[in-house]
Amino acid sequence: MAFPPLGDNEGKLVSGKILFIHGTGVRTAAYQRSMMLVADKVRTYLPRYEVVGCNWGDAFGARLNSHGQSIPGYANGRAAPATIESAAMARWTLLADDPLIELRVTELQRQLGGSRGPAVWAMLVKADTAEEPLKLLKSWGLAELWPTFVASVAADAAWSQTFQTLGGTEGQLSPLVSRAVVAAFIAWLRASGQPGMTGQQRDQLMAVLQMELGGPGLGVKDWFLGRVTNFAVPRRSALSDWSGAPLGDILRYQARGETLRNFIGERIRQTGASVILAHSLGGVAAVDWLASDNRNLAALVTVGSQAPFFYEIDALASRPYGANLPEFFPRRWLNFYDPRDFLSYAGQELFKGFAHDVKVDNGQPFPESHSAYWHNDTEVWPEIDRFLP
């Protein structure tokens, strides 16, 4: 994508100040660290520029104004004791993320005569017609979905390959396999938009599946449960503290975003910045501010931003879906995304003639990938350097 020259209205090259707008969930201490890092990178890669800040989190971010009164049990503490019940819940938490986790790390020994995994796999791929699971699922209104789910598992190479080298006997494997299948079914229901199952239903389905997939467990020590006994299972208060600021900032912006957009405008006026460098929700606010009036800004750089996604789902405050951006919006817009950052989105197909996407690899899984752009010296900063003359 060819960019127009970076200049003011008279065509003169512009350098000077970059306004850094932080992302969701950031408050003063984190902002200061981010600002120091960004300022150091700007001195290294963009010495012709000075970076100035837009610290909006404390003033315009979400907070529990009534000290968590809306959150049941918030005042009861931050950590649950390590009990068998909490360990079991921790195991299901891990299985929700990776249903095969127990099977991948099992310490069951290979038996004489080879792996028993293929025999259990043969039972699993035929479980779509198993009488007892179908009878139970029918009572919950889920029987019609079961064959499609089993077929999806049977066609999944990750599943079939995992079973090829499993140790243990059928009876030793049956609890692990039935948990994996139930966890995958719950995830499949969730992804399909279907109502979920209760813990009691989950355990009932696991019990009947176990009889179909090798019989009752043989009293083998549940070593995996012991490994997760100390897994941190936060109470709702801690979970709310961890997720509340990022999610709350997004929700508050959707309801009260004008205050943040006005603050961005005020910081531009105070600092005379000609370029905006914005992360995450800061990029959404920057796009909304620039799209609401002719700001005469030279360039926009967004990093890990949700602005394209908000626009596609018709949730961008400044522009309804299909309206595209106004002609006065800056034609120089560089948008970074990392496929492993699930809060970053591509914009150039939605905002043709405005956004230019750059795919990068921060080398981190989510959520670390979302905040790792500033350390990416091989892709992010050299590209910004080329983008800003």
Confidence band, pLDDT 50/70/90 cuts, at residue 131:
very high
Phi, psi angle pair for 150, to nearest 5°: -60, -40
Average pLDDT for residues 356-373, to the nearest whole number?
90
pTM: 0.68
- Pairing relationship of beta strands 299-303 and 275-279 according to DSSP bridges: parallel
- For the chain, what are the domain ranges? 17-64+238-387, 80-233
Distance of CA 157 to the CA centre of its chain: 25
Q: Is the pLDDT of residue 308 over 80?
A: yes
C-alpha span between 52 and 15 (Å, rounded): 13
pLDDT at 268: 97
The total of other beta-carbon atoms located within 10 Å of residue 280's CB is 28
228 pLDDT more than 60: no
Across 25-47, average pLDDT: 92
Question: What are the strands of the beta sheet with 17-21, ordered from one edge?
Answer: 50-54, 17-21, 275-279, 299-303, 333-337, 355-359
pLDDT at 191: 84
Identify the CA nearest to 61 among candidates 191, 238, 256.
256
In the chain, how long is the greatest CA-to-CA distance? Answer: 83
Contact 189, 234 (CB under 8 A): no
Q: How confident is the model at residue 195 (pLDDT cuts 50, 70, 90)?
A: confident
| C-alpha pair distances (Å), 270 with each of 50, 267, 273 | 14, 5, 8
Q: Three-state DSSP class for 301?
A: strand
pLDDT band for position 249 (cuts 50, 70, 90)? confident
CA-CA distances (angstroms) from residue 209 to 105, 116, 173, 189, 252?
21, 17, 12, 17, 45
What band does 299 get if pLDDT is binned at 50, 70 and 90? very high
Structure token digits, residue 94:
């891990």
As separate numbers, helices (DSSP H) first and strands (DSSP E) second, the chain gives: 15, 6
Residue 91 has pLDDT above 90, yes or no: no
242, pLDDT greater than 50: no
Three-class SS state of 382: helix
pLDDT digits (tens, 9 = 90+) for 266-291: 999 999 999 999 999 999 999 999 99
CA distance 107 to 220: 11
Q: State the sign of the Cα–Cα–Cα–Cα dihedral 99, 104, 108, 113.
A: positive
Confidence of residue 76 (pLDDT cuts 50, 70, 90): low
The pLDDT tens digits of the residues spanning 161-173 come to 999 888 778 888 8
17-64+238-387: CATH superfamily: Alpha/Beta hydrolase fold, catalytic domain (3.40.50.1820)
Give the containing element (helix H, strand E) for 186.
Answer: helix 170-191
